[in-house]
């Protein structure tokens, strides 16, 4: 028989956690499993009450015995984050963004590939978001692309046109 016994302080802490308004449903169910077990309920009875599998209740109770309150919130799945790689990519992106030009995500992807880091454009956008890098706007004029002679001729033509006066009704 798997039963959990708690001290008064531990029981009070669980009761306090149980009353938190924004507690995830999964965590609330796990809390309920532990509290019902301390009240003398068996795992099959708890499973029937919470409409879940009996083995799930046993797993939660064993995990609570091993880890305590930390067992109430689910563990993160997957591998741990690679901090060294994240730092490497962030440093390279900072170097590229420091250049006096604007970049698109695919251009940054190609530039990173030249430096031995292979990411997709979507991953580059995620790194840019983590860095807080926003969009850099270019100047909205076309003065640098205009031919001065053509622009002067167009100004003379426009200055020579008269505005039509509206007809009197």
Q: Give the total number of structural domains in the chain.
A: 2
Inside any domain, residue 38: yes
Backbone φ and ψ of 87, nearest 5°: -65, -40
- Judge whether 169 lies within some domain: no
Cα 13 from Cα 114, distance rounded (Å):
55
Binned at pLDDT 50, 70 and 90, residue 5 comes out as: confident
Has residue 141 got a pLDDT over 80?
Answer: no
Average of per-residue pLDDT across 13-20: 87
| Inside any domain, residue 139 | no
Tell me the mean pLDDT in the region 1-18.
83
User: What is the chain's length?
Assistant: 169
Does residue 28 sit in the same domain as residue 47? yes
Instruction: Provide CB contacts within 8 A for 69, sequence distance 6+.
Output: 13, 14, 17
Range of 115's domain?
83-131
Q: What is the pLDDT of residues 25-56, one digit of tens each?
A: 899 999 999 999 998 999 999 999 999 999 99
- Quote the mean pLDDT of the chain: 87
H-helix segments, the chain: 8-18, 25-38, 43-50, 54-67, 83-97, 105-114, 121-131, 148-160
Does residue 147 form part of some domain?
no
Residue 8: which pLDDT band, with cuts at 50, 70 and 90? confident
Domain presence at residue 61: yes
* Structural domain includes residue 159: no
Q: Determine the Cα–Cα distance for residues 131 and 93; give it in Å rounded to an integer.
A: 9
Output the CA torsion sign for 139, 104, 122, 133: negative
Beta carbons of 4 and 37 less than 8 angstroms apart: yes
């Amino acid at each position: 028989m798997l039963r959990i016994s708690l001290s008064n302080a531990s029981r009070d802490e669980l009761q306090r956690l149980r009353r938190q308004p924004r507690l995830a449903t999964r965590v609330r169910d796990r809390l309920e499993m532990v509290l019902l077990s301390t009240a003398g309920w068996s795992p099959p009875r708890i499973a029937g009450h919470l409409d879940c599998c009996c083995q799930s209740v046993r797993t939660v109770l064993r995990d609570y015995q091993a880890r305590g309150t930390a067992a109430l919130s689910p563990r993160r799945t997957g591998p741990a984050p690679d901090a060294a790689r994240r730092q490497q990519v962030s440093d390279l992106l900072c170097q590229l963004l420091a250049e006096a030009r604007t970049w698109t995500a695919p251009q940054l992807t190609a530039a990173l590939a030249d430096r031995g880091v292979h990411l997709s454009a979507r991953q580059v956008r995620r790194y840019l978001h983590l860095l807080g890098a926003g969009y850099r706007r270019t100047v909205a004029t076309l003065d640098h692309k205009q031919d001065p002679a053509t622009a002067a001729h167009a100004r003379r033509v426009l200055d020579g046109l008269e505005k039509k006066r509206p007809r009197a009704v």
